[in-house]
Structure 1
Amino acid sequence: MRAIGIMALAAVLTTGASAQVATIDPNRAIDGDLATPAPRATAQPRTVQRTTPAPSPAQPAPGFDQAQSTPPPAYAGESANAQQQARAEAAQQADTTYAREDLLAAGEGVFGKGAAGLAGILERVLKDQGRPNAYIAGREAAGAFVVGLRYGSGIMTHKVEGQMPVYWTGPSVGFDVGGDANKVFVLVYNLYDTEDLFKRFPAAEGRLYLVGGFAATYLRRGNIVLIPIRLGVGYRAGVNVGYMKITHKAKWLPF
């Protein structure tokens, strides 16, 4: 019996051992390790980036010119040059022409201090013609019936070349037209060489100025303009002046 039990126990142990032993292929085991799947990456949340649309430019109102609304860029250099040029031109004009105050003082020396109407007629002439660079302060004598001759003499004052005596002759309507026809003040324009003054200056188309008892006419030769201002000669004398012939010396013949 004892021997039978020992045999049964050995059979049980043999059966359990055979049941627990498994055959393993070493190559397959290594490949299995290599084929082990990598751990799955955790999915990151997708971030959607939103772009803010740029604001559209403001539309100009109908009929509004955008090009005109934008001022051109100002350049300091150009502005400074323009200012310097303007100052230079103003200084040159002041040096070569006569201002209203100078002409008024010279005119009052001819017609008398505070002559009524002189300032007004000078204002109008200077506004239309600009500033002269010379003037003649003188006296006239005329004699005839209706149509005659005028003889005059005076001192021409030039802004650059100074003073010199001048004489002139020309048509006249006589003393029957006005009272104090023996005084005259002539504004001279564009006279750059005083020798160019000694010519015959015919009446030209221009404005006839009448202020108070003063009358001014318009004479021209080339670019040189003479505007004689007379007191007391009236409208007829202004329109009947045909020319002024200016000479260095006094002459009796007007031609």
Structure 2
Amino acid sequence: MNDGSGYVIAAVLSLLAALTIMPGTALAQSENRSSDTYKEDEIVREAGDFFGGVSEGLADAVHDVFEDYGEPNAYIKGEEASGAFVIGLRYGQGDLVMKNGTRRTVYWQGPSAGWDFGGNAVKVFTLVYNLPNGDAIYQRFPGVEGSAYLVGGIGINYQQRDDIVLAPMRSGVGIRLGASVGYLKYTKSREWLPF
């Protein structure tokens, strides 16, 4: 083996070892990237635990949002109360949970105007997309809401500010019928003035 064949065999073995390790490394990197977002089954489980059971309606609602926007990187679970007679107000509070482990307490409040009547007290599970960090949630998110809240129903609407998209899913008690435009302002502490 003085003719250099030992070096060739060592080089071939090194190359094979490198090729064997590379796909595993690429797979690990791919898993790390996908671990930055929640899978659909994780959200159905979390939302089901929060709302008190997984119903077919909840699973369908989550599936629809995933079809529209893909995998979220955060969610907010909380409660809110609202009422409207043409002009409406909404107040809520909850916890922001990011896939990377970041947690924040969040309050929200906002006005609405439109053909909107009634009131409700609901649990809210909001899917959050493209949130760069926990503090980026603290701003105003405009949205258009068409709702028909009946006891036990789940309603979804979308809010967006730049690339950040929020998809609140609401379920609770009350009757609120109509369509309105407005915004929700997410803050670090409770604010009574919704503007």
| Identical pairs, percent | 40
CA deviations on 1:190-223 (whole Å, 9 max, x unpaired) are 011211110001116x999x9x922211111111
Partners in 2 of 1:224 and 1:89 — Cα distance? 25
User: Which among 210, 214, 217 is matched to residue 157 of structure 2?
Assistant: 217
Instruction: Note the C-alpha offset of 1:102.
Output: 1.6
Residue of structure 2 equivalent to 1:170: 110
Partners in 1 of 2:68 and 2:47 — Cα distance? 18
Show structure 1 runs of 4+ deviating over 6 A. Answer: 82-86
Residue of structure 1 equivalent to 2:130: 190
CA deviations on 1:11-43 (whole Å, 9 max, x unpaired) are xxxxxxxxxxxxxxxxxxxxxxxxxxxxxxxxx
Residue of structure 1 equivalent to 2:83: 143
User: Which among 155, 169, 189 is matched to residue 229 of structure 1?
Assistant: 169
Aligned residues: 169
User: Which among 87, 91, 98 is matched to residue 158 of structure 1?
Assistant: 98
Partners in 2 of 1:161 and 1:195 — Cα distance? 13
Residue of structure 1 equivalent to 2:14: none
| Amino acid of the structure 1 residue aligned with 2:138 | F
Bigger-Rg structure (1/2): 1
Instruction: Note the C-alpha offset of 1:132.
Output: 0.2
RCO (CA 8 Å, sep 6+): is it higher in 1 or 2? 2
Partners in 2 of 1:145 and 1:182 — Cα distance? 18
Measured at CA, do residues 140 and 235 of structure 1 come closer, stay the same or move farther in structure 2, by a change above 3 Å? closer
| Secondary structure, aligned partner of 1:203 | strand
User: CA contact under 8 A between 2:82 and 2:90: conserved in structure 1?
Assistant: yes
Unaligned runs of 5+ in 2: 1-19
Measured at CA, do residues 252 and 162 of structure 1 come closer, stay the same or move farther in structure 2, by a change above 3 Å? same
Instruction: Note the C-alpha offset of 1:156.
Output: 0.6
CA deviations on 1:118-149 (whole Å, 9 max, x unpaired) are 00010111012100000000000123434320
Residue of structure 2 equivalent to 1:41: none
**Pairing 1:12-31 to 2, within 5 Å after superposition:** none
**Pairing 1:1-255 to 2, within 5 Å after superposition:** 87-88=27-28, 90-171=30-111, 173=116, 176=118, 181-203=121-143, 213-231=153-171, 236=177, 239-255=179-195
Aligned alpha-carbon RMSD (Å): 3.2
CA deviations on 1:145-202 (whole Å, 9 max, x unpaired) are 343200000011011142221000023546x26x5x4211111000112111100011
Write 1 or 2 for the structure with the bigger share of strand: 2
Partners in 2 of 1:91 and 1:229 — Cα distance? 28
Partners in 2 of 1:133 and 1:117 — Cα distance? 23
